[in-house]
Amino acid sequence: MLKALLTDIDGTITDPTRRISTGSMETIRSLVDSGIEVVLASGNTSCFMDALSKMIGTKGTFIAENGGVFRIGFSGPLVIRGDQTIVKTALTVVQDHFQKQGISLDLFSPTYRFSDLAFARTVPADEVRMVLRDYPVQVIDTGYAIHLQAPGINKGTALIELAREMGLIPADFLAIGDSLNDIQMLKTAGIGITVANAHPDTKAASQYIAGKEYGDGFVEAVEKYYPYFRAR
């Protein structure tokens, strides 16, 4: 039996313009009202995730910064994973590289990030990887931003720790995603699902592919597996 749902946000419970699907929100609220834990997972900052959790209607548990940060409930402390010192050094190297080309990186909320650092996809991710080939950092292209993260940090490793803190195991979770940064999350969860718009490599890591895209695919997947959920 499944006891919790873990879902990505952008591209999974949104539409192509990143507006949250109303059907997704209704589905999440229905699960929460039924006693099912719902955890949001994203590359976004923890403050963004806190507000989004309130607006959508979860109990406040989330994974942020692609696994670099997580929190249990609204009152729980932030758990920070990884060494941002390494990431800051790598970002300086990347900034210097592109500055020589007359390009300034557009950083995304660096003040509110505790584990990774992210910037706009205005430069090629492969070139960033080339520049940082000798540095111990991951370069993660989510399709919405480029993130620099310490090695070994991802949504899947965060799920393992988060589940333990919740008194659960990863097999208790149904996970839904669409992007490359969701692959480890899908592999770690008991059941991993992708929506129809997912990256081909992400689909290959899932156990079920929804026939519909974006938020509609999310609703389809939850409805399919709803009979397997059990309230805690």
Q: Compute the distance between CA of residue 197 and CA of residue 203 in angstroms, rounded to an integer.
A: 9
Q: At what angle do helices 22-33 and 46-56 cross, to 10 degrees?
A: 80
The catalytically annotated residue of 8, 178, 182, 216 is 8
Bridge pairing between strands 138-141 and 146-149: antiparallel
- What are the Cα distances from residue 102, in Å, to 57, 105, 118, 121? 44, 10, 19, 16
Lookup: tokens for 191: 């059941």
Give the pair of three-digit tokens for residue 17. Answer: 């313009």
Q: How far is CA 149 from CA 75, 86, 92, 157, 187, in A?
A: 26, 9, 14, 13, 20
Does the annotation count 8 as an active-site position?
yes
- Tell me whether residue 170 is exposed, middle or buried, using C-beta atoms within 10 angstroms of its C-beta: 0 to 12, 13 to 18, 19 or more: buried
Strand arrangement of the beta sheet that strand 117-119 belongs to: 117-119, 146-149, 138-141
Q: Catalytic residue positions?
A: 8
